[in-house]
Structure 1
Amino acid sequence: MDTMTLKGMRFFGYHGVFPEENRLGQNFYVDLELKLDLERAASDDDLNYTINYAELHALTKTIVEGPPYKLIEALAGGIATTIAEAYTMINEVTVRVTKPNPPFEIHFDGVTVELRRKRDANGRIIPA
């Protein structure tokens, strides 16, 4: 399987358990790693045989900047499911969501959740 990766997408959202997070918002970073067959896109040099990464970015932005989730695990799951359902040529999707500034007094680069989903033999999206 071939891989398409979108790294370091930055969005502003209102996700979190605490009311202040839902009111004030904060940055979230999202990475996507998609497993799909890109052979025809590579040989024909034709956008019709791949996924337009500008559309992937826009779809991810809509989710992250949309209604709030309490947990970044749920946010990552929403992104993974929406992308896998929208693009049936994707066999597997990995979503990494980083919350760089969690609202508590410790110093680190943030917390990242990574979820991996794949398409089973019946076309359903399942944990990988």
Structure 2
Amino acid sequence: MDVLVVRGIRAYGYTGFFDAEQELGQWFEVDLRVWVDLQPAGDSDQLGDTLDYSQAVQVVQTGIRQSRFRTIERLAADLCDRLFQQFPALPELELTLRKLAPPIPDFSGDVSLVLRRSRKLTGAD
């Protein structure tokens, strides 16, 4: 299986534990790795034979903008669910979510987490 990587997806959102984060918001950044078979698009040169990564960017940005969760763990899980819903043939993904300016005194770094998820198979799949 091949891997398609999209880095640096940014959006302003309102996820955070503190009231100020929920009211004022902050910037988030996502890196995305998706496992897909890229051979069909490599052979045909047709967008319909691959994962349209511009749609993946829109799914992530919309999810960050619309969601209001208390934890970045919940936001990341929601983004994974949204991507699987948008791309039914996607078997596996890895999503790195970064809070670029966490409200931690005397700390100028970022906080990130990485979720690696496989599609949940049901009897209908």
**TM-score, with length taken from structure 1:** 0.90
Is this contact kept in 2: 1:35–1:92, CA < 8 A?
Answer: yes
Q: What is the RMSD computed on CA atoms of the aligned residues?
A: 1.6
**What is aligned with 2:43?**
43
- 2:69 corresponds to which letter in structure 1? Y
Q: What residue is the counterpart of 1:5 in the other structure?
A: 5
Q: Which runs of 5+ in 1 are unaligned?
A: none
1-side partners of 2:4 and 2:98: how far apart? 19
Q: How far does residue 54 in structure 1 lie from its aligned partner after superposition?
A: 1.1
Q: Could you report, residue by residue, the CA deviation over 1:67-125 in whole angstroms, capped at 9, with x for unpaired residues? A: 2111111111011111012212211111111001111203242100110111256489x
How many correspondences in the alignment? Answer: 124
Q: Segments of 4+ in structure 1 off by > 4 A?
A: 120-124
Partner of 2:53: 53
Taking a change above 3 Å as real, the CA distance of residues 123 and 112 of structure 1, as seen in their structure-2 partners, is farther
**Between the two proteins, what is the percent identity of the paired residues?**
31
Q: 1:81 to 1:107 in 2, by over 3 A?
A: same
Gaps of 5+ in 2: none
The TM-score, its normalising length taken from structure 2, stands at 0.92
Query: Cα distance 1:123–1:17, how it changes in 2: closer, same or farther (>3 A)?
Result: farther
Equivalent residue number for residue 102 of structure 1? 102
CA distance in 1, matches of 2:37, 2:21: 39
